[in-house]
Every structure is written in C-alpha cells, then in structure tokens.
Chains A and B, each alone.
Chain A
Amino acid sequence: MKTILKTFIIPAIAIALFSCNDDKETEPIVVLEATLVADLAAPNDVIDRATGQVIETRPFQYFSLEQNQIVSESDDWDLAFKGTTVRVNSGKGASAAIVTGIFDQIIEIPASATFAQDTESEFAIPTGGGNGWYNYNSSTNTITPIPGRVVLVKTSAGNYTKIEILSYYKGNPPVASIDPFTTPSAHYTFRYILQPDGTQKF
C-alpha cells in the first residue's frame, strides 16, 4: 500500500513543481548552456601489483570550472582529479555537495544540499563505490557514474555549478564495450552548468 502511494505521489509532486515553474516564468531568463568536458585524463598513481607500494606518484589534474580548462595547482582551481578521487579546492573556499536527481531538473540548489569542504579525514565528494559519484560493478570490474547523482560545487569564485559525470573511460564508450583490463580508464567525461551571477538558480 505504502509503495503504491509513493509511486503516485512522486509524479504528482513532479507535476506540481513543473506547473509552479511555468506560472512563475514571466521574467526573461538567460538560458544557461551545459559545458561538456571530454576525456579529462587523470591517471592514478602507479602501484606495484605485488606489494601495493606506489612506484610512481602521479599529479592531480587541477580543473577550473570558471575557465573550463586544466590549470596549475597555484591557480584558482575548483576540482582536482586523480583516479577515482575528486578533490575540491577547500584552500580557496570551494565546497561541494552531492544530491540525487535529474541534472536538467535541478533548477536551483536544493535546501537539502549540504556543502562541505575537503578535510584531512574526509572528502566532500566521498570515495568508494556507491558512496560518491560512481558505482563499482564487482562482476565486470567496471566503474560507472551513478545515474541521478549530481555534484554541486561552489567554486572558489563563489559561483554555483552543477556537474554530471558521464564516463570514467576514454572516449565515453557504451558500458557494454568497456573492457576493464584494456579500455583506458581515469578519463573523465562530464557536463556542467555554471551560474555566473552568483545566484543559486540554474
């Protein structure tokens, strides 16, 4: 009974939300275009299989959402990528939250989103399969972004951004064609919308 109720309520709320939205749209708004970043390569450290020792440390790839490009660590970067780990630039005041929902339908920062900064012990975007942005499929050994997970970032410049990570493999291949042993991984493809006016609306 409870579940039936829920399945009806969710679309009902969604419809209500949309209709509210339509009524309000009287003032002209600037339509924000999503920016697509393809194959941002952020290889992980090289680890000796047998001992687990790091043989070669690889650098994080620092990315500025404002400039839509890879920058150096000393610049005003927002996110840093290495392997499956994504850091936010807490030193410059950037923070992040993870919410569940459909990218296009997140039209403003929800009240429930709790922005956090990276600390010594914890990352704002948690690592590990199922915790943060990805799922680890143990039967196929593949890493796939969790659909419906949207990363919200407050950039070091103070602007809100919503990000959807689309792929962890080079060329954004269909999941069926990923071979975990041979398809180059740690190649991020994601899209994002940055609201430059400082408001929480997209």
Chain B
Amino acid sequence: MFRMNLIKILLLAAFVLGGMSLYAEQPIRILDKTGEPISYALVQIGNKKPIPVNAEGEIDLSTILAEDQVLIFALGYETKVLSGKECHNQNQIILEEKESSLEEVVVSATRTDRSIADLPMPVTVLSQEKIQQTGGIRLSEVLREQTGLQISSDHGAGLQMQGLDSEYILILLDGEPLIGRTAGTFNLDRISVSNIERIEILRGPSSAIYGSEAMAGVINIITKSGSQPKTANLGFRSRTFNSWNPFVELGIQQKDWQVDVLYDYFQTDGFDLTPDVVGQTQNPYQGQTAQMKVRGQLSDKFELSLFGRGYIESARAEMEVNSSSPESSQIVTENSLRDWNFNPTLRFKPNENWLFSLRGMSSWYATLADSRYKSSGENFDFQDFNQFYHRTELQTDYQANEKNLFTLGLGQITETVEATRYKGKNRFDAGYLFLQHQWNPSKKVNVVSGLRADLHSEYGGRISPKISAQYKFSKAFSAQASIGSGFKAPDFRQLLLNFNNAAAGYYVFGSLLAEEGIANLQSQGLISQVLIRPESLGALKAETSWAINGGFRWNPDPRLKIQVNAFRNQIENLIETAPIARLTSGQNVFSYFNIQSVITQGVEVDLGYTFRENIRFNAGYAFLDTRDLDALDQIDGGQVFKRNEQNITSLVTRSDYGGLFNRSRHSGNLKISYQEYLTGINFSLRGIYRGRFGFGDLNGNLILDDESEYAKGWMSMNFTASKQFDNGIFLEVGGTNLLNTSTPNQPNNPGRMLFAGIQVPLFNK
C-alpha cells in the first residue's frame, strides 16, 4: 500500500516538476534490454531542460532537428548520446544497465573481494564522489557526515562507532592497520583525503579476521591507483583559519607496472573557542604526507606490490600553569609526530581456485613533546614515544567450488615500544591464525563464518568467533544477521606505564610493572599501606565483547534504497585504573584492572532516494543507548547522590541516568545533491544533526545524571558547489557549519568555515 502510494506521489511530482511535454504522434520508446519500458528515463536535447518520458517510457522527438544532440539517461543505466538524425530513424532506444552500485566491491569485510549485495554484515562504502561532496580535507571531516558516526575530541579527532570509542575501532590503510594512538585515540586528522578513492565502513566486531581493536568496527581507507599511462594532478585547497592544502598526484603505467605517488601538505593556524584562556582550542599545525605505491605483474602468476608512506606533523602549543610568578607560568610546547609505513605484498595465483598472499607490514610511529618556560626557555617537561610494529602474514584463499570459499590466515606480530613514561625498551610478540568459510548454499542464502585465535606474549590467548548470514527474499529485499565476538588487547600504557605525577605526588604503574614498582617504593619507605597485593592482581585480560547485528536492505523501487541495522554490544572486562597502595604522603599508587562492563545498543537507518537522475536525497538516523552496568548497580544500591547549586543533595535514580558521556541518543543527517544541467554545477547541501550529549560531570558523582551536564544538540549546515570542466579542471567552493552554531562543549567545532579548491590535471593519457 505504502509503496504504491509513495511511488505514485513521487512520479506525479516528477512529472509536474519536470514539465510535461508529451505528444501522441510517433513517440520513441526508451526500453531496457528485456524490452521493458523505463518509465523514469530523461531526455535532454542540446542544452535544454531534460524532459521525462511518460509511464510507458515514451517521448515524442519528432520536432527535434537533425543536428541536435540528444542525451538519454535513466538511473541505473548507461547514458546514451545520439544525434537528432539518429533519433528520427528509430522508434525505440535501448539503454544498457549500468554496473549497479550494489556490485561495489568491498575488501575489508571478508579480506576477499566481495560485492556489497553479497555481504551478510552491515557495510557502507563512501565513493570518491561522496567524499568530494563533503569538501573535507582531513578524514574526520568526511566521516562526521555519516550516519551513526561521531567525531569526539580527546587527544585528537577520534571516531565513535556504535557508541564505542576510537580505541575499539581498527583503522586500515589499503587493508593494512595504522598504528599510533594517544590515550587510545587514533587521530583521524593525520589522514589527508586528497587521494582517497573510497572508504569502507564495516560495523560490528571483526576480531574474527582482524584480531585486537576491531571491536566496534573497521574503517578501510583505499587510496587511488591511476589507470592511465600517465597521470599528473595538481590540487590546491584553502579555507578559513589560514588553512591551505596543496597536493600533487603522479602516476605512471607501463606494461605490467604501475607507480603512484602523492605529496600532500596541510597547514592551519587552528582556532580558539576560549580566547580568555591562554592556549588555543586547536593548536596551529602542519602535516606532510608522502606516499608511493608500486604494483607490478612479475609473471602471469605473481604480482608484487610495494606501499610506502610517510607522515610528519609539527604543532605548537601554549598554556598557562599555576605559578608563584607570572614569568614562570607561561609554557610553550613543541610537538612533533612521525609515522612511517612500508608494506610489501606478494600475490601468487597458480590457478583459478587458489590465491596466496604474503604480506609484510612495518610501521614506525614516534611523537615528541618538548615543553619549556616561555620567558627563560628552560625545560619544563619532555616526553617522547617510539613504537615499532611489524606483521608478517600469509593468507590463502581456496575456492573449493562455486559454493565454498575458504580462507586461512597465519601471521606473526612483533611490537616494540620505548618512551619517557615506560621503562627501557619493551617488546611484545604475538602469533595468530584465522579461518573463514564463505558459503553460498543457494542463490538466496549466503553465510560467512570465521574464527581467529590470537596468542600474545603478555596477555595470553584469545579466540574470536563470528558468524553472519544473509537471506535474499527477493531481488529487492534481503535480511542480514550476525553474531560475533570482539576484543581489544591491553595497550602499552595499561601494561607498561611507569608514571609519577611528581606535582600531584601519585604514581601509575602498568600491570606488568606494579609488583616491581610497589617493591621499589616500599624499599624507599614511601608506602604506608598496600591495598591490593600486586602479585595477586594476575595478568590484565583483554577487553572483550559479544555483539549482535541484524537488519535489512530494501529497494522497494529502483530509485529508493533503505538500509537498516540494529546492534547490541556487550563489553566486559573494560580496563580502568584503581588504587593499589597508599603512600605515606597520603597519595595513592594506581594500576590497571579489568572492572567495567558496558552495553551499547541502537539502530541505524539510511534512506536514499533518487528523485530524478540529477536530484538525490539521503536521510540517515541513528538511535543510540549506552549504559555502564557498574554505575547502574551503584544507583540501584542507593549509593549515588547529586548536589545542585543550592547545595541540596538528592538520591540519583535510574531515570536520572543518561548513560555514557559523549554519546548522542539521537543523531542524523539529511543530504540533497543536485546537478544543474545547463551549467554542469553540482550542488550538495547537507544538514548534520547531533543530538544532545553528556559532556562531563558537574556534580561530583562522575556519572551523567543532570540536565546541566548535557551539551545542546546542534545542526551543522554544510554546502558544497563543484564543477568539473571539459578540460578536466575541477573547482569547488563551499562552507561547513554555515549557521555558525557555537558549541563550547564540542572543541572540534570551530564554527563557520569557508573553503575553495581547484584541481588541475596536467596530463591524463
């Protein structure tokens, strides 16, 4: 009922808006390959307004001149260009079906090439067009416009997915993990979008193939590979806050070899939301990315690819500290970051059924923060951090028959870290094995099951299973469900931290160092009481989760796409700090424990409607519910109180409890894109809504339970206009947060920003 009415209404609207011009005599029919009329095709004559065909796919073209150029197009079909003469000579035109966007290949979900339509788990792919529409320069600016994703500001721009923080999301670059996190956050501003071809967003735990960190989901960034013999593109983008981003892309293809090079420079003056306080909200910084990809066919069975990337960032920060004299209160910090990746891959395909991929992956990540007194230049604080990560992996894919594809992976990881806050050089070793079976018992059913075993030198073993299944009820409707386990290994900080906050007088020891640290302090006579014997702590376990995801994809009409996914993540053994000993000074010694349990659940809906070939609507909505089970226990036990500004204390009840901080219960987006035919300009207008969220505790009980602890919901209106000229030059202008909505509790929102950019292809042949 609903479906029919909706279609009728929209069709009617299409006709009214399109301006009907139908004549009865000698119409031309627009058909698909099977001879069915395409009722929503459009015909454009010269530079005139496109005209829709009627419900039978008919249009009268008898009045056009022989020399007119006629463009015939329809959603999902290849556009046809004919001359007026050609049109006069026929009474029907057949359009070829376009390779549907559902045929889009996704790599990250199964580590094999698989089209979205065949994936039984929730996956979204952002095409280059969608990335370009955001006008974003850094990765966070693209992801923040997607349904169910939020960018939080905690030691960098961290992603939030399914209500879980950045530390539980694996970030891949061309399929290989990126390392380098501060307090768990992977700063998405480290990634430039200038040469991203597409982004795969995989929701739900994927530890069954990726191991640690892939608890909430996986983001796979796929960089461009030129497909022409010679490519050279120059780009330049500029925007508010003296930010500019020149880049150059080069590509050469010869015989069986392809080389792609990128250099990208970004700099910004940053911004300041609190001008009365010393130090900016975002510090000025500059980042440089250089990347090179080499891919070649060694023989018809061997393929070699080499990937190298370097990223250098430097930033300057100022702050004020409590001090007896004003001269010694101003501190300047010079920060630098270096990130190098080198990933060689050798693929061997002896025949149609077997594929062996041997991958090496090495990453070096280093940060340095040198803080000095502004007046004297004397040292105030110095921190450095050096991490090395190496992985060797052999993946074997075996297509046993049409219905069964098996994947076996074997890998080894070596990781070392050296830092001011860690003692000596530390090394971890791990090995893993994963098995995956992709099974298509019939055309309607497909099942992906997987299991991964990780063995780690510090936290022991972990088995992560996952099974996903899809049933295609019809070509238009399919349902997916999956259940899987995710985990996140204790990180360096939690295992190795050897930190003495000298000013405040407390110590924090990683779980591996707690025993030794306590013994040391005891021998110095600094411990007054041991609260928990460190030897009784046992090894810190990995944080683990079980998650279910279920939803459907429905195309009630070729122009309407609906995708729904509901999820529930139950996370156990979350790692927190707690005191283990008391110092004679009255301060404490802290270490890390597996204590917390958290639930995140919700539903995400995406709806896309192509009103006409040149007008598209997208709407997204995400509902999110989160809760800390230990906080709820305390509330139920009558242990939690709150105090208002009049100093009246009251008991906190379940109805006061707002879940985890920095989670929006409601969020969504509404996007309209429109291509103006006469000028060829693409317009894209997006409203991105983030519902209210708890920004921090204000009444001393550390949980979210009071109106004053919420930041108001806000809407960011973003607009981009772009045009691709016939000579290949691409121009864009636009702005983000055009309404200039100020949100003091969202430090990554600077207010209105305007941008302009140009890309010039020097030669693409």
Contact = CB atoms under 8 A, between A and B. Distances in A.
B582 interface: yes
Interface in A99-151: 100-104, 120-123, 126-128, 130-131, 134-135, 137, 139-140, 144-148
B182 interface: no
B277 interface: yes
A74 to B, nearest CB: 22
A19 interface: no
Contacts of B698: 174-176
A26 interface: no
B160 to A, nearest CB: 15
B636 A7 contact: yes
Contacts of B640: 148
B677 interface: no
A140 B702 CA distance: 11
B590 to A, nearest CB: 9
B380 interface: yes
A175 B321 contact: no
Interface string B314-336: 00000111100000000000000
B26 interface: no
Contact of B701 (A49, A120, A147): A147
Interface stretch (B303-311, B541-549, B650-658): B650-658
A85 interface: yes
Interface residues of B, number: 45
A102 B503 contact: no
Interface in B611-648: 632, 636-643, 645, 647
B702 A135 contact: yes
Nearest to A134: B700
A120 B651 contact: no
Nearest to A85: B586
Contacts of A18: none
Interface residues on A, range: 35 or more
Contact of B528 (A2, A6, A120): A120
Contact of B649 (A103, A122, A130, A140): A103
A182 interface: yes
A122 B529 contact: yes
A41 B263 CA distance: 57
Interface in B567-606: 579, 582, 586-588
B502 interface: yes
Interface string B288-304: 00000000000000000
Contacts of B502: 47-52
A75 interface: no
Nearest to B699: A147
A167 to B, nearest CB: 10
Query: Mostly helix, strand, loop or mixed at chain A's interface?
Result: loop
A120 B640 CA distance: 31
A31 interface: no
A67 interface: no
Given A3-B636, A128-B582, A146 B700 contact: yes
B700 A175 contact: yes
Contacts of B246: none
B701 A47 contact: no
A7 B503 contact: no
B372 to A, nearest CB: 12
B582 A147 contact: no
Nearest to B638: A10
Contacts of B319: 181
Contacts of B379: 50
A47 B642 contact: no
A58 to B, nearest CB: 13
A99 B684 CA distance: 59
B528 A49 contact: no
Contacts of A123: 586
Interface string A157-185: 00000001010000000111001011010
Contact of B503 (A49, A127, A164, A175): A49
B582 A127 contact: yes
Interface in B696-742: 696-702, 708
A101 B649 CA distance: 9
B500 interface: yes
A137 B379 CA distance: 28
A47 B504 CA distance: 8
Given A123-B586, A127-B586, A147 B637 contact: no
B113 interface: no
A179 B588 contact: no
A10 B641 CA distance: 13
Given A47-B505, A175-B699, A7 B654 contact: yes
B381 interface: yes
Contacts of B277: 179, 182
Nearest to A138: B577
Interface in A1-44: 2-3, 6-7, 10
A7 B653 CA distance: 8
Contacts of B632: 3
A57 B381 CA distance: 23
Interface in B501-537: 502-505, 528-529
Contacts of A52: 500, 502-503, 505
A7 B639 CA distance: 12
A55 to B, nearest CB: 11
B223 to A, nearest CB: 35
B528 A181 contact: no
Nearest to A49: B503
Most buried by B among A6, A128, A140: A128
Contacts of B653: 7
Nearest to B662: A139
Contacts of A6: 636-638
Contacts of A166: 643, 647
Contact of B641 (A100, A176, A181): A100
Contacts of A127: 582, 586-588
Contacts of B641: 100-102, 146-148
A184 B324 CA distance: 12
Contacts of B697: 135, 137, 140, 144, 175
Interface in B363-378: none
6 contacts: A10-B638, A52-B500, A102-B641, A121-B528, A139-B696, A181-B322
User: Which are the 7 A-B pairs with shortest beta-carbon distances?
Assistant: A148-B641, A52-B502, A144-B700, A147-B643, A128-B588, A147-B641, A85-B586
Given A2-B636, A147-B699, 6 more contacts: A84-B586, A100-B638, A104-B649, A127-B588, A131-B579, A148-B643
